[in-house]
């Protein structure tokens, strides 16, 4: 995917929802969200390391204060930025809006702080519309990325 053609306006979350920067979510809430999205949970220690090694993260809370969206970024501060764990609760009625808000806020922050970096991410299928609206192109010129899931090889 290649980002940053023309940028649409930032999607607004419904009243009561909050997009927060550097709000430290509880590992239990993060694991609940990952599991709801079909991903594997992580240990508290692993979450602590992951968050400490990230440049920043964003969360979305619903009107009841429950975590319903998350994304985090890492970067070498020179050429590359990576978005990880882009997830939104599939049971939340505003899931598409949550994903859209996370994508737009993450890209705006990367553009502001790391404008020269290329961006890579692994995204669930439900994020493709939001990413396309943000200017990403899926498999430009037939180029595809590959990844290796090390979780089955590493305890964690």
Tell me: the pLDDT tens digits for 101-141?
A: 999 999 999 989 988 888 888 778 888 888 888 877 777 67
Confidence of residue 4 (pLDDT cuts 50, 70, 90): very low
**CA dist., res. 148 & res. 129, Å (int):** 24
In order of 40, 82, 131, the CA distances from 43 in angstroms are: 10, 22, 29
Task: Report whether 82 contacts 73 (CB < 8 A).
Answer: yes
Range with lowest mean pLDDT among 26-40, 79-93, 112-126: 112-126
Looking at residue 152, its pLDDT comes to: 56
Looking at per-residue pLDDT, the higher value among 119 and 66 belongs to: 66
pTM as predicted: 0.82
- Which pLDDT score, from 0 to 100, does residue 117 have? 80
Q: Which position has the token pair 């400490």?
A: 52
Stretch 29-55: mean pLDDT, rounded?
A: 94
Crossing angle (nearest 10°) for helices 27-36 and 44-53: 90
Count the neighbouring beta carbons within 10 Å of the beta carbon of residue 50. 18
Q: 3-state SS string over 98-111?
A: HHHHHHHHHHHHHH
Domains of the chain: 18-130 (3.40.630.30)
pLDDT tops 80 at residue 86: yes
Token pair, residue 153, equals 């090889």
Q: Which helix (H) or strand (E) holds 138?
A: none
């Amino acid at each position: 995917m290649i980002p940053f053609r023309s940028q649409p306006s930032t999607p607004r979350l419904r009243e009561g929802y909050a997009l927060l920067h550097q709000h430290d979510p509880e590992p239990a809430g993060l694991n609940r969200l990952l599991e709801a999205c079909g991903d594997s949970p992580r240990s508290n220690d692993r979450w602590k390391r992951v968050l400490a090694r990230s440049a920043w993260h964003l969360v979305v809370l619903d009107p009841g204060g429950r975590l319903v969206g998350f994304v985090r970024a890492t970067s070498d501060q020179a050429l590359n930025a990576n978005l990880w764990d882009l997830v939104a609760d599939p049971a939340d009625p505003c899931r598409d809006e949550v994903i859209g808000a996370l994508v737009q806020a993450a890209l705006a922050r990367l553009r502001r702080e790391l404008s020269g970096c290329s961006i890579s991410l692994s995204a669930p299928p439900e994020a493709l519309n939001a990413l396309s609206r943000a200017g990403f192109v899926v498999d430009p010129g037939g180029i595809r990325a590959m990844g290796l899931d090390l979780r089955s090889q590493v305890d964690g």
